[in-house]
Amino acid sequence: MTAVQILDHRVQMLGQPTSVKGLSNENRDALIVSMREVDGVWVVISRYGDDVWWTTGSPTNTTKNQTAMDYAAIPEPFRATVKAAMYRLKRRGRPGRKPPAAATVVSAFRYLAHFLQHAFDLGVRNLAGITPLVCSSYKQACLTKSKSRGGRGGRGKTSSSTSGAGLSRATIRHRLAAVELIYELSQFTDDRMLQHPWPDTSAHQIAWEKKSRRSTGNTTPLMSDEVFEVFFQKAWSIVESAGQLLDIRDEIAKPQYRGRGGRVTDRTNRVLRKLGWSEGFGALETALIDVRTACYVVVAGLSGCRNHELAFLRSNATYSTIDDHGERYWWMRSTSTKTDVGATEWMIPEVAVTALRIMDRWAAPLQARLAAQIEELRAANSADPRIAEAQEHVGAIFVGVASIKKNEVRTLSMTQTNVNLKRFAKACGSTWRLASHQFRRKFANYAARSRFGDLRYLKEHFKHWSLDMTLGYGLNESQEQALYLEIEEEYDLIKERVVAEWLSKTEPLAGGYGANLVAWRDREENITLFKDHAHMIRSIASSTAIRSNGHAWCTADDNLCEGNDIDPTRCGDGCNNAVISRRHAPIHVGLFKQLKALEDCVDIGEGGRKRVARDLERCRSVLATLGLDPLEPIPA
C-alpha cells in the first residue's frame, strides 16, 4: 500500500458524495474509501479506483486479510456495479439504517461474491438480468449444502462460514441476505436488479424454515461440567506455575546468554539447564504459549467475555472496590464493539485477576518489541499507515508474533486463538473441539458451581457501563444500571436466606416440596455431596426457582399453579412445588378463621360446605405440620 499525505484528507472524505452516479471516471476513482490517522495526520489507505479496498476500524482480533475487499473475486461484468454498491454501503448504509461496521461490509462483500459467481455461471452478465428464478436457483443451491452444526456426541463441531460445503443456518441467512443487499443498493446504480430476489419471503425466513425441517444443533454447544473442569483445572495449574517460566524467560533474554541478533546458542541451553529447564529452548517457547492459552481459558471462563473483548484487554486492566461491609470486588476494563457499547467493565473473581497479571508480565517483552517496530517505521516514513495499524495493538496482552510478516507483534486473531484452544484441549486428552465463543455460554451455566467461582458472578453477565461514560448516556442510565445490579444481588441473597431456612433441621416445612426437603436434608449422604453447608445453600438457591405467593414459596418454573391464584389452600395439599414455613403460619391461621366463619352458613349450599370442610382440613394439616394449633395464638 502507498499513502499520499494530504492535510485535508479527512475533510475531503467527509465532503464526498454518497453515490458515484454522475461522476466522471477520474473523479470517481479518486474518491477516498479508507484512511488512517498517523501521528495526527490522516493518510489515504484505499481509493475507489483500487483493485483492493483495505478497510479500517475492525476489532484488533481481525487478521489483515479479513479487512480486504478484493474485487478480483467479483466476476468482471458485475465489478463496477458492486463497487458502486459497496461504496454507498460504507458511506450511507442500507435504506433506513446507519452505515455498518467495517467487518460487516467485508463479510457482505464476500457472501455477495458467491451469489454473483453463481449468476455468472448461469450466463447472467448484468444485474438487470438477475431474475427471481436465478435467485431461487441460488437459494436451492445453498439449502442443498446446508448441514446441522453442533456435532456428534456434543463435541462442539463447527463449520466454515464461507465454504461451499456444509453450510450452517447462519451462513445460509448471510448468503441470502447479501442477495437482498445488492438488490437494495443496486437501485442507486446504473445497473439495477429489477425484481426482489424472493418477493414473498426473506433471507431470515428461508433459513428459519430450513431449520424447522431439520433437527437443530447450530447453537453454541454447551460444554459439560466434566469437560470444562478438565480444561479449567489444567489451565489453572499452568497459571499457578507460570511465574517460574517467566523468570526463566526473563533471565535467558539477557544479552550475555544470546548470540548475535539474540540467537539461541549452546550457552543459552546450558543456562536453561542451570535454571532447572532441561527440555531446550523450543520446548520453553511452547510452554510459554501454553501459559497464554491457559490465561485465556481462565479469564474467558470466569468473565463470559467475547473474543474481541478479551483481545481489547490492555495491561493493568483490573482494579478493585470495597463496599460498606469491607468486601472487595474486582473489575476488568476493556472495550466491546457489540451494539456500539464501547468502554465496558466486567466483575471478575480474583482468580481471573491473577491470570491477567500473569499476562501483563507475559506480554511485556512483545510490547517492547512492538514499540521498537513502530519507531523503525516512523524513522523510515513518518506517514506510513502501518504505524497507525501497529499502534492499535499497543498495550494489548493477548499478543503474538506473525512470523510470516517480518515478526510483527499483533493481537492474536480469533482464528489463531481457536487453533491454540484446540491444541490445548487435545493436550488435556479431550476430544471436545474447544472454541472461544463457547466460554460465554458456559459462564452463566457453570460459574456458581465452579471450584473457583462465586455466586455473585452468575447474575447475567455483570457487564457495566464504563465509569467515564459520556454525558450523553445521562446519569439515569448509570443509576438504573447500578440499581438493576443491586436488585439482582439482593434477590440472590434473599434466595440464599430462604434456602438456609429450609435446610435448618429445626424448621418444620409443609407442602409437597417442603416435605421432600425435610426427608432429603435428614439423609447424611446428601449432605456429603457438598463441601460445606454454605456450598449446599448456594447450590440449591442457584438451581431452584423460588417465588413468594404470600402464603407459600412456589418452586415451579412457571406461574400456572392454581395455588398461586384461585385456590391458595391447594399449596398445603401436597403440591409438589410448594414450601410452607412458619413465616406463612399467620396467613393460614387467618384462612382457617375465615373458613370457620363460613362453616355454618346455610346459603352456600352443600357443595360450598364440602369445599369449606376440605379447605379447613388443608389449613389444619398445614398448621399441624408446622407444630401449631389453629385455635391457639401463634408463639412469638
pLDDT digits (tens, 9 = 90+) for 397-425: 999 998 666 789 999 999 999 999 999 99
State the pLDDT at residue 564.
64
For residue 499 the three cell numbers come to 434456602
Reported confidence tier of residue 293, pLDDT bands at 50, 70, 90? very high
Residue closest to 597 by CA, chosen among 585, 584, 609, 606? 609
> What value does the CA radius of gyration of the chain take, rounded to a whole number of Å?
32
Residue 1 has pLDDT above 60, yes or no: no
CA distance 238 to 170: 36
Q: What is the pLDDT of residues 589-609, one digit of tens each?
A: 988 888 888 887 878 888 888
For residue 319 the three cell numbers come to 482494579
Structural domains present in the chain: 1-50 (no CATH), 56-212 (no CATH), 225-465 (1.10.443), 491-625 (no CATH)
- 8 Å CB contact between 89 and 99: yes
158 vs 517 pLDDT, higher one:
517
State the pLDDT at residue 452.
30
What angle in degrees, to the nearest 10, is found between the helix axes of 203-212 and 169-186? 160
Please give the average per-residue pLDDT across 95-111, as a whole number.
Answer: 91
For residue 142 the three cell numbers come to 445453498
Please give the average per-residue pLDDT across 379-395, as a whole number.
Answer: 93
State the pLDDT at residue 370.
96
Reported confidence tier of residue 549, pLDDT bands at 50, 70, 90? confident
Reported confidence tier of residue 495, pLDDT bands at 50, 70, 90? confident
Residue 248 has pLDDT above 70, yes or no: yes
State the pLDDT at residue 480.
27
Residue 396 has pLDDT above 70, yes or no: yes
Map residue 120 onto helix, strand or coil.
helix
CA distance 594 to 422: 67
Reported confidence tier of residue 483, pLDDT bands at 50, 70, 90? very low
Laid out side by side, the sheet with 463-465 consists of 318-322, 328-336, 342-348, 463-465
State the pLDDT at residue 193.
94
CA distance 504 to 154: 39
Place of cell 450452517: 168
Residue 503 has pLDDT above 60, yes or no: yes
- 8 Å CB contact between 62 and 55: no
State the pLDDT at residue 17.
87
348 vs 351 pLDDT, higher one:
351
- 8 Å CB contact between 83 and 48: yes
481 vs 293 pLDDT, higher one:
293
Reported confidence tier of residue 209, pLDDT bands at 50, 70, 90? low
For residue 453 the three cell numbers come to 467461582
* Phi-psi region at 217: left, alpha or beta (left = phi > 0; alpha = psi -120 to 50): left
Residue 456 has pLDDT above 60, yes or no: no
State the pLDDT at residue 484.
37
Place of cell 539447564: 273
CA distance 542 to 17: 56
Please give the average per-residue pLDDT across 238-248, as a whole number.
Answer: 95
Residue 365 has pLDDT above 80, yes or no: yes
Residue 74 has pLDDT above 90, yes or no: yes
Please give the average per-residue pLDDT across 289-300, as a whole number.
Answer: 97
Q: What is the pLDDT of residues 29-44, one digit of tens each?
A: 999 999 998 888 888 9
State the pLDDT at residue 261.
56
Least confident of 309-313, 433-437, 606-610: 606-610
Torsion sign, CA atoms 77, 82, 83, 85: positive
- 8 Å CB contact between 413 and 61: yes
Kindly give, in sequence order, each residue whose CB lies less than 8 Å from that of residue 526, ignoring residues fewer than 6 positions away. 520
State the pLDDT at residue 266.
74
Reported confidence tier of residue 471, pLDDT bands at 50, 70, 90? very low
User: What is the widest separation between alpha-carbon atoms in the chain?
Assistant: 108
Place of cell 517483552: 365
557 vs 385 pLDDT, higher one:
385
State the pLDDT at residue 603.
83
Map residue 5 onto helix, strand or coil.
strand
Q: Is 53 exposed, middle or buried (0-12, 13-18, 19+ CB in 10 A)?
A: buried
Place of cell 491470570: 355
CA distance 594 to 589: 9
Phi then psi for 572, rounded to 5 degrees? -90, 5
11 vs 158 pLDDT, higher one:
11
Reported confidence tier of residue 453, pLDDT bands at 50, 70, 90? very low
Residue 543 has pLDDT above 80, yes or no: yes
